[in-house]
């Protein structure tokens, strides 16, 4: 089975994607049943394919991407990856399944999934809609609000509003009045806690909003949860997913930011969390509800915030393309329900093939409609 592992991308999480993909490729390489085709997307958006890209991304300072073979997927349904060799020949590689692990913009947001659907290539993860909805935190919040999923109070602003001097004061007043302090200001579409600030008073609003706007056109202002406990839960499956035991994240610092997630060694995971058994079950129920309500498939990590005093649970976010190293939360938590790293990868591939088969059973022609139009 030919598996295209797609990674890198024009994203703030480019390096994170590379680290995850290299581990996925390493595990797949140990399986005799897969023929792995690494597909690397450079920070500029150039596509390259072939075994040589692995050496290039491992040594980016000495690599020369000009010596790599450019590649492109055709949107035709022939499931072909075209690799352009240095001798001007074109190698056509049939792809049985894609493992699109491009985190962040243009990978996690439905764009890459759309290309793969046009090419009729089965792919690991959620559909175009679920990916796009899950990646945009504002869309997720608004969507889940209709299904009574508990969330903190929040406001959203776009660049045009923030730049309008006529309404600027009213926006700041609304933040002070409706959200209060401390609060969190974040880009609507960005992962790995990039661009997020904890704001403790009115004077910190401008700097935090400006930072968030560097990464997106929309910004969310959220009320902070008192004595917040961060709990994450992994979900794996399609229509009837498996839900892991939740894990409580302990870390140093004001909040679980990029440094705490990737650069610091001073963090710990408690499985199960320090919560009553009924709260643990409530988190698992909510994780499954969020996953199914958004129509997610394959795997995802669903994050929650718990008020340390009232024990009230609030949905925080869903990651439809979660961090997926052997020591990542997504992987660690699935181990609590019997899934090794290798088993997760193989299960994700099986789930992707199942979803693709179901999708291709849909009827795409409507002869009666054609007849009606021709008569007109």
Any bridge partners for residue 298, and if so which?
A: 237
Instruction: Enter the tokens of residue 352.
Output: 């992707």
pLDDT at site 111: 94
Whether 138 contacts 144, CB under 8 Å: no
Tokens 């439905």 belong to: 110
Instruction: Enter the tokens of residue 222.
Output: 């959220």
Domain 153-223 has CATH 3.40.30.10: no
Whether 99 contacts 24, CB under 8 Å: yes
pLDDT at site 310: 95
Please, what is the Cα angle at 91 between 90 and 93, to 5 degrees? 145
Class of the CATH-defined domain 2-123: alpha beta
pLDDT at site 364: 75
pLDDT at site 330: 95
pLDDT at site 302: 98
- CATH number given to 229-359: 3.30.470.20
Interatomic CA distance for residues 295 and 350, integer angstroms:
18
Q: What is the CA radius of gyration of the chain?
A: 22
Per-domain boundaries in the chain: 2-123, 153-223, 229-359
pLDDT at site 332: 94
Residues 6+ apart with CB under 8 A from 227: 307, 308, 309
pLDDT tens-digit profile of 286-299? 999 999 999 999 99
Interatomic CA distance for residues 321 and 300, integer angstroms:
6
Q: Which residues of the chain have pLDDT under 70?
A: 60-64, 191-192, 253-266, 366-376
> How many residues make up the chain in this entry?
376
pLDDT at site 23: 93
pLDDT at site 367: 66
């Amino acid at each position: 089975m030919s598996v295209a592992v797609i990674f890198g991308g024009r994203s703030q999480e480019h390096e994170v994607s590379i680290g995850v993909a290299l581990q996925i490729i390493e595990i797949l390489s140990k399986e005799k049943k897969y023929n792995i085709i690494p597909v690397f997307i450079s920070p500029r958006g150039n596509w390259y394919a072939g075994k040589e890209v692995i050496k290039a991304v491992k040594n980016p300072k000495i690599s020369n991407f000009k010596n790599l073979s450019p590649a492109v997927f055709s949107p035709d349904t022939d499931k072909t990856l075209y690799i352009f060799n240095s001798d001007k020949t074109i190698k056509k590689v049939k792809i049985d399944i894609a493992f699109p692990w491009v985190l962040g913009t243009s990978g996690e947001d439905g764009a890459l999934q759309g290309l793969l659907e046009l090419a009729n290539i089965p792919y690991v993860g959620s559909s175009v809609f679920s990916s796009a909805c899950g990646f945009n935190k504002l869309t997720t919040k608004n969507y889940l609000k209709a299904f009574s999923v508990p969330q903190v109070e929040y406001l959203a602003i776009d660049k045009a509003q923030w730049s309008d001097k006529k309404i600027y004061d009213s926006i700041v007043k609304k933040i002070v009045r409706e959200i209060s302090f401390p609060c969190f200001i974040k880009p609507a579409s960005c992962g790995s806690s990039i661009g997020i600030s904890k704001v403790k008073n009115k004077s910190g609003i401008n700097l935090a909003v400006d930072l968030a706007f560097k990464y997106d056109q929309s910004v969310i202002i959220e009320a902070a949860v008192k004595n917040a406990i961060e709990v994450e839960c992994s979900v794996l499956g399609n229509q009837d997913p498996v839900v892991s035991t939740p894990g409580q994240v302990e870390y140093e610092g004001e909040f679980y930011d990029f440094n705490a997630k990737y650069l610091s060694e001073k963090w710990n995971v408690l499985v199960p969390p320090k919560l009553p058994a009924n709260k643990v079950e409530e988190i698992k129920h909510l994780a499954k509800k969020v996953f199914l309500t958004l129509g997610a498939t394959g795997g995802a990590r669903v994050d929650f915030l718990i008020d340390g005093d009232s024990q009230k649970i609030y949905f925080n976010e869903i990651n439809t393309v979660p961090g997926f190293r052997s020591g990542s939360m997504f992987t660690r938590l699935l181990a609590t329900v019997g899934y090794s790293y290798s088993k997760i990868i193989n299960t994700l591939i099986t789930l992707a093939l199942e979803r693709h088969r179901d999708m291709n059973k849909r009827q795409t022609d409507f002869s009666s409609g054609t007849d009606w139009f021709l008569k007109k």
